Amino acid sequence: LVMAEAFRASYPLFHELRESYDRPDLDFQVGIPLHLDLAVDSFGEGGFAPAIYEPCLEATAREIRAIQAESQGDVVFQLEMPVPLVAIAGTPPEGQAQTAAEMARRVTDLPRRADAGTRFGVHLCLGDMNHKALARMRDVRPLVLLANELPRRWPEETTLEFIHAPFAAAEEPPTFDEAFYAPLGDLDLPPEVRFAAGCIHESLSLDEERRLIALIEDLAGRQVDLAAACGLARRPDVAQAWDAMDKSAALVDA
């Protein structure tokens, strides 16, 4: 249980820091690669075959159950998943809704194997290997389709707390073309599911970020959380990661 071992190494330190800064409200986030990504990244299309898919699913669920059993109810599992969104983005427009439904079914196979009360967030992603995306979207329709499907299929015994959506493609910054974001008008999430806009990027100024966030919130019809499009460690220069964190703090504090 490799991920569980990593959890055991850092969880006590998290509690020490949380107590020293008097922040009992903070949760511990555990990033978990989606079982489907594990299967497909390792075996290509063969990862969809039951003989490979099922062991990857159960191995990932076993890690989640082990961590949840040792936690104090303050752990949120973030499911990291380039494969579902890349698959939808690569499907012709007329088939994207069907692909989104199939991907949502695969994603929710994992929380169905988790213990009751387990808390999750979903990190939709286009990939960011060496700060290069695996795919591009013509507009945000693929992520809207998948974001809408996930809460409908999520098992009641576990909690879906947030969905992160990428609005940049690794080193390629977010566009300001309103047509790209227009499908956000169809976003239909339950109010209790937070929507995190992955739009913080090293190429944009604070004023540009404010303009972009206002556009996203106007079209989505809701306030959004803020994040980068993918993990900060993928950037070639650590200063870019600090830049994203500084911008996020400035935007939240404003």
Residue 86 CA, chain-centre distance (Å), reads: 13
Contacts of 170 (CB under 8 A, 6+ apart): 126, 127, 128, 131, 132, 133, 229, 230, 234
Report the helix count and the strand count for the chain, using DSSP H and E. 9, 6
Neighbours of 250 (CB within 10 A): 12
165 contacts 197 by C-beta, under 8 angstroms: yes
Residue among 60, 65, 71 nearest 11 (CA) = 71
Measured CA to CA, the distance from residue 195 to residue 161 in angstroms comes to: 9
Report which secondary-structure segment, H or E, holds 25: none
What is the pLDDT, as a whole number, of residue 232?
78
76 contacts 60 by C-beta, under 8 angstroms: no
User: HSE (CB half, 13 Å, CA atoms) of 182?
Assistant: 6
pTM of this structure: 0.94
What is the pLDDT, as a whole number, of residue 215?
97
Q: Which DSSP string do the residues of 63-111 spell out, in sequence order? A: HHHHHHHHS-S-EEEEEEEHHHHHHHHTS-GGGHHHHHHHHHHHHHHTG
Structure tokens given for 132:
């290069």
User: HSE (CB half, 13 Å, CA atoms) of 206?
Assistant: 11
254 residues of the chain, pLDDT tens digit each: 789 999 999 999 999 999 999 999 999 999 999 999 999 999 999 999 999 999 999 999 999 999 999 999 999 999 999 999 999 999 999 999 999 999 999 999 999 999 999 999 999 999 877 778 788 899 999 999 999 999 999 999 999 999 999 998 888 889 999 999 999 999 999 999 999 999 999 889 999 999 999 999 999 999 999 998 887 777 778 888 898 889 999 998 87
Residue among 51, 47, 59, 67 nearest 4 (CA) = 67
